[in-house]
Every structure is written in C-alpha cells, then in structure tokens.
C-alpha cells in the first residue's frame, strides 16, 4: 500500500464524531493496523453516545453492534465525550472529520484550526484513495451517483473483476475495514458526495465521473457557484495518466474539460459522442450498439444518462459489450429510486424517495407515459422550482403536497402557471387516501418529493410507504 502507517504511529491522531459511520470506521481502520496514539471525540456524553452508536451502525446486527461498542470502549486510547469534546485537538498532528462535520454547532471551534492548518485535516475518503492498491473509480454529480456506481460495479463484477465499494450507504459496512485483502487488479468504486468535495481531497481517483451539476445543497455551500466548484475538486489531483468522464449534455461540468489534465471521455443522451450515447433508439458506445433503449428497466433521461456513463467507464476498463448489455438488460432499480412497490387495482405505486431535488423528480415524471398522481413536498435546499412546476403542468393528473418550505416555493411557481389540480395534506396516510381516490386503473401513484426532509418528516415509523400501499 502507498499509505505509510509507520509515519502516523509516531503522531497524535484525533478523530471527531466517533459514533458515526465514518468516525468509527476510521478509528477501527487505524486501531486494527496497530495505531494506538488515537484521541476519539464525540460531543454526546457516554450514555447518549452508546445509544446513538447502536442506532447508526445498521450494517451490523443488533448483537454485533453491541459487541463492537463494548470492544471499542475497551481500546487503550483516549476518549473525549461530552464536556471534554475537542479537548487538546489544537495540538493534534492529524485530525479526521466526517463529511458533514460543519453542520454541527459544536464543531465551530474547529474552523480556525482548519483555516490555519488545512493539511492536517483528513476524511475517510482520503484513506480509501491512499490505501487502495488497485484502480479507483470515483463518481460524483447532483443526480444519479448511486445508480451509476451500482451499474459500474455490476458491470465490473460480471466481467470477473473483484470490486470494492465505498460510499454513503448506512446499511452497508465500509469496505475500508477489509482493504488489506485488496489486490492491484481489483477495482474500488466510490460514491463521492458534495460534502466530501467541500472538504477537499488529497488525491483524486484514477477514473473520475461527473454525472451532472445542477443546483443543490445551496445552504451548505453558500451559492451554486461554490457548490459547482466543490464538485470540480474531484479532478483536482488527476494527471495525464488518469481519465475524466464527463456529460456532454451538462453545460456546467462539460466546461471543465478545458482545465483537466486527465484524458477526457464523454457520455451523453442528446449528443453524439464516442463514449456512451443514444443513437437510433439504441444505447451505444463508439459505433457499436449495446442494446435498445426499450430493454432498459427505466427509460427516463436520467437513467439513460446513468447507463451511458457506466457504459463509458466499463468500455475504458476493457469490458466486452455483450457483458455490458446483459447487466443493463437484467438491472433492477435501487431501492427508493423509481422503485415499483406494488400494483393495486391496476394502479402502479412507485417509491422514489431519493429524488430530493426538482431535477430528479422531473426525471422521474419523464419516465412514465401513464397519467401520474404525484405526492411531493418537503424542505427547500435553496433551489428553483420553476422546472418542476412546468413538468407537473405537462405530466401530472393530480398533485398532493405535504408541508415544507420547498412546497411553498413550488406553489408559487404553479400559481404563476395557473395550475391548480392539487391539494395540501398534513401527513402521508391522508395523502395515500387522496391518491387512491384520484388514481384509476393504468395510472401511476408516484412518491417523489423533489425536496429534502420528506423521509424523516413523513415516512419513518408505521406510516411507511410500503405499509400504506399494503393497506390499500
């Protein structure tokens, strides 16, 4: 491995946010490799820390979580809980933070330290990039990251490659803890979030993929320009031996080709490029047709773009077209992404909870030719809702909105279009009653929020989407 832990063993390493997936994974990674000069921080007191730890690490069974927690608290390292949080951190040689560290008021004390000594700050993603002995593929973008990562990983696996995964999925163990088993011919596929890139990377993936860049997470970054600049950081440390895969249809990220040092490879749905693209109703690469669009499990523009990006990467990795075609033909959408949960009385019920920005809901709407009853709403991310309002006007039979700041913005846009086939409800059970009343056989009931916070506000507990569908 290129990463020399021998150097780190002589330094004091602080890890902030121990209860979280990233904090615990980094701590265990270092501890398992003999690093003992660790200082582990969590702002909760010990009792609350224990409860939070047991709630978060869902990739482990409940007994496994309990054993992991008990083992952790027996480590011969220093713990700083509650009132001791961040004690002595200014003297640290290296500091690990979770990607969302800036969202916690207790971490404001870290800002001046990070401003004066940014080189000493690390995140879990740096360990992936610096320790993996094979080829790293990093995927970022506003929409389609998870699906593109999943498609690439499945194509590599189908070609007989050993594939490792790293990302934001709470229900999966991070591959970082098992990377000592990785070989130089293996592949690591990383889902890289805007918060990873806001933090900044110390190394770029050899193959970097940018699906698209549209307004999102504006409060976290301060402006769309700052958000886009964060996304661009994925290519910051690439060189001429690396590859950058860009969307020719995306005006923001495609402009970065002129600043890139890596070899540029394009994908598109509306532009004829050498990489993955659409030609004569076929998903193609170069001059070779892979398979007809009608064979895909989802024909939205967003999914076709995701597939085109994955095809481009697979082609770069030398995967044969028949293997790629088989994966695409057999692919099933990830949970929560235009996932058909049931058909009741001839009505399809589609769960698209991962669409938390207007562009994603627009893509979901475009994937259906049937009349749609849309359930949406939630909290604003500082984005514009005019595009979503226009698509609702064109495609939606009836709109059911739940409360939130994004809902208020969408209503303004819909009123400007003089479109009023909608109603407001306070909770998901009533939304389902109204949706079932409005939907007829061959219609679609689509839950696609187009905003943040919908899951935590309306779906947790007994009012889950699937249970409500089953009750119809």
pLDDT tens across the length of the chain (472 residues): 445 577 788 899 999 999 999 999 999 999 999 999 999 999 999 999 999 999 999 889 999 999 999 999 999 999 999 999 999 999 999 999 999 999 999 999 999 999 999 999 999 999 999 999 999 999 999 999 999 999 999 999 999 999 999 877 656 778 999 999 999 999 999 999 999 999 999 999 999 999 999 999 999 999 999 999 999 999 999 999 999 999 999 999 999 999 999 999 999 999 999 999 999 999 999 999 999 999 998 888 899 999 999 999 999 999 999 999 999 999 998 888 888 889 999 999 999 999 999 999 999 998 899 999 999 999 999 999 999 999 999 999 999 999 999 999 999 999 999 999 999 999 999 999 999 999 999 999 999 999 999 988 888 665 677 788 877 7
Residue at which a domain ends, from 271, 299, 330: 330
**416 and 461, same structural domain?**
yes
Question: DSSP label at 452?
Answer: B
In the 8-state DSSP scheme, what is residue 181? G
Q: Check which CATH number belongs to the domain holding 324 and give it.
A: 3.40.1190.10
pLDDT of residue 5: 72
pLDDT of residue 4: 59
Tell me, yes or no, whether 1 lies in a domain: no
Residues 6+ positions from 315 with CB-CB distance below 8 Å? 275, 276, 285, 286, 324
Tell me, yes or no, whether 426 lies in a domain. yes
Instruction: CATH number of the domain at 445, please.
Output: 3.90.190.20
138 is a domain residue? yes
Query: Following CA atoms 289, 294, 295, 296 in sequence, which dihedral angle do they give, to the nearest 10 degrees?
Result: 100
Q: 50 and 199: one domain?
A: no
pLDDT of 9: 83
Residues 189 and 309 reside in one and the same domain: yes
Looking at residue 169, its pLDDT comes to: 64
- Whether residue 57 lies inside any domain: the answer is yes
Query: Nearest-5° angle of CA 450, CA 394, CA 348?
Result: 65
142 with 261, same domain? yes
Pairing type for strands 121-122 and 94-96 reads: parallel
Say if residue 309 is in the same domain as residue 398.
Answer: no
Do 368 and 462 have their domain in common? yes
Do 211 and 282 share a domain, yes or no?
A: yes
Whole-number pLDDT of residue 3: 52
Same domain as 183, residue 77: no
Within a 13 Å sphere around the CA of 125, how many CA atoms are in the beta-carbon half? Answer: 28
Same domain, 365 and 391: yes
- The last residue of one of the domains, among 302, 330, 358, is 330
The pLDDT value recorded for residue 10 is 85
Q: How many domains does the chain have?
A: 3
Any domain includes 269: yes
Same domain, 93 and 238: no
DSSP string, 71-124: HHTTSSSEEEEGGGTTTTGGG-SEEE--TTGGGSGGGGGHHHHHHH-GGGEE-H
Dihedral pair phi/psi, residue 203, rounded to 5°: -155, 145
Q: Which two tokens stand for residue 349?
A: 């019920």
Task: Specify whether 466 is located in the same domain as 343.
Answer: yes
Strand partners, 276: 285
The CATH number of the domain holding residue 97 is 3.40.50.720
- Model pLDDT, residue 1: 41
CB atoms inside a 10 Å sphere around CB 11: 12
**Residue 233 is part of which domain span?**
125-330
Residues 422, 465 within the same domain: yes
Encoded tokens for 284: 């193609």
């Amino acid at each position: 491995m290129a990463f020399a832990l021998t150097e780190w063993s002589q330094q004091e390493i602080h890890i902030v946010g121990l209860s979280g997936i990233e904090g615990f994974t980094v701590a265990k990674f270092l501890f398992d490799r003999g690093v003992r000069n660790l200082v582990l921080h969590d702002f909760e007191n010990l009792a609350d820390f224990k409860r939070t730890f047991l709630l978060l690490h869902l990739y482990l069974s409940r007994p496994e979580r309990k054993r992991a927690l008990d083992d952790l608290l027996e480590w011969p390292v220093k713990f700083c809980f509650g009132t001791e949080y961040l004690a002595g951190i200014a003297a640290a040689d290296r500091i690990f933070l979770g990607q969302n560290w800036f969202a916690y008021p207790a971490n404001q004390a870290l800002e001046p330290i990070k401003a004066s000594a940014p080189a000493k700050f690390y995140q879990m993603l740096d360990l992936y990039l610096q320790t993996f002995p094979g080829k790293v593929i990093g995927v970022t973008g506003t929409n389609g990251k998870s699906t593109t990562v999943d498609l690439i990983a499945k194509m590599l696996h189908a070609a007989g490659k050993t594939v490792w995964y790293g990302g934001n999925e709470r229900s999966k163990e991070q591959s970082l803890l098992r990377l000592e088993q990785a070989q130089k011919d293996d592949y690591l596929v990383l889902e890289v979030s805007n918060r990873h890139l806001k933090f900044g990377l110390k190394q770029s993936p050899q193959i970097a993929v940018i699906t698209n860049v549209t307004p999102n997470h504006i409060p976290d970054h301060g402006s769309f320009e700052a958000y886009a600049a964060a996304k661009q950081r994925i290519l910051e440390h690439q060189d001429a031996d690396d590859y950058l895969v860009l969307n020719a249809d995306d005006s923001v990220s495609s402009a970065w080709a002129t600043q890139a040092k890596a070899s540029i490879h394009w994908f598109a749905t509306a532009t004829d490029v050498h990489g993955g693209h659409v030609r004569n109703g076929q998903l193609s690469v170069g001059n070779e047709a892979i398979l007809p669009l009608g064979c895909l499990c989802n024909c939205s523009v967003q999914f076709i773009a995701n597939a085109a990006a994955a095809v481009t990467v697979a082609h770069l990795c030398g995967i044969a077209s028949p293997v790629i075609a088989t994966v695409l033909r057999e692919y099933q959408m990830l949970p929560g992404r235009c996932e058909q949960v049931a058909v009741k009385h001839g009505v399809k019920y589609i769960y698209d909870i991962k669409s938390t920005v207007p562009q994603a809901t627009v893509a979901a709407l475009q994937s259906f030719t049937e009349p749609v009853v849309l359930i949406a709403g939630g909290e604003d991310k500082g984005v514009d809702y005019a595009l979503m309002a226009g698509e609702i006007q064109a495609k939606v039979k009836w709109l059911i909105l739940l409360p939130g700041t994004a809902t208020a913005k969408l209503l303004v846009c819909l009123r400007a279009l003089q479109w009023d086939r909608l109603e407001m409800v306070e909770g998901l059970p009533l939304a389902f009653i109204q949706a079932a009343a409005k939907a007829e056989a061959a219609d679609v009931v689509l839950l696609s929020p187009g905003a943040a916070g919908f899951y935590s506000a309306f779906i947790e507990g007994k009012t889950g989407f699937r249970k409500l569908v089953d009750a119809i």
